[in-house]
Structure 1
């Protein structure tokens, strides 16, 4: 039997669940998304006409990054929608579901690229290096432009930082395609094209698997990376105002928004009503947890509770 003397929800002055939306950064991401998605289509068509699997593979990489940019835009839009009676945390998890679907579809794309690359290594296909080089150079210029636009935005924005890293990966892919095109022009080695496509596919696998792993981790409500539940409980229990601390649970709502709950019991001379703010301030300061529910139990109650 659990005796609850105090059950409070404490987050300081700001109890909003919505993430901060920066209009300038949203415009930057929208512009770069249009460039990336448009060029991915051009690259796919150009790769098909030139017979370049490397360009087609890199267009898949561009599609993955365009999807990541789109997810960032979704996050901005969803952050504006207020919670309602049936969605008390708002709509943040829509982005997580979209990321999971995006990652799964990219793995299917990689499987096709790998199969086609093996076939082309065994039976090389003629590649039009000139058109391949032109398309790759255009991609390099667009990616440099996109990277500069994102880099000039607010550096503290996690969405913007992630988008910049994706565009930087596209830029490296364009450099590789240029190198392959020049190599084919100079040596006539058509095998350079499927070899490059495999390297680009590995970049896509890394991005796709990261999306899937992070999405599953969030949906499973796993403890955020770098957070040790036992260490948190021990740190709270060491405070002079707290006799016991336990049943700490933490999970990621989306991106860097962490939600946590914890049970504590007061020492003999401490007012139980003072503990929620004390614990919430401590978790925010030490672990950047902004949304904390603190339950204050009677002395000795934690030892009798079953931990879930």
Structure 2
């Protein structure tokens, strides 16, 4: 595998105890997660970040899916990040979002064949050794499942809250419930659930139907005692925009799809404000603990 991961600089004065440090330059760290792949989590992350930016916030994205990074393509970004004084990497800028991804450091065609400790170290360095510039929100595009990346986030980073993305399909909801339970076990507040591909909208006639089922995320939110932040349709413009590196929040910022993302972003930010979230002040870190049962 051809890799440029060695270009991530190693700071000489970096604390060995990362568990006790907030991420410099970041006010709120929000994990966007799903128990199952293929539910549109990365697309949702990108458009939510752009919605928050449109509302006046300073926003970044950390692509934590090291085995399958999507953010470079979705934001239309290419190239390698510059080094800031040999100590940190400068985030790439895509549509006004500060972005860091392993996809900038590894060739597109090369698979990342790493064991857990290597993945954990890479994620930690991408988070802490990127020169984030005064972000209100850093949205973390999480991989599917509940593995090393998720535990590393919970143990080493002051996560303000998590959002679960699912589709209405029963099998997706089953895995989403596991993802939600995982965050509860590690004491990370769950801000709410987003139902993606809630309905399909025909591009020819505009007919709307529930092809994956109806009301699944709402019932899941009620059972879990959390909020349903919103529902997003399965629409061709969301898919084509993501593939082209021009998300629908950019291509049609006043359209109905952008309105749906804006409503969810507002609800998510409001929920975060009302929660007693862990402090991200580096002087008084409030870190989640791992509870094993």
TM-score range, shorter chain: under 0.3
Which structure carries more strand by proportion? Answer: 2
TM-score, structure 2 normalization: 0.25
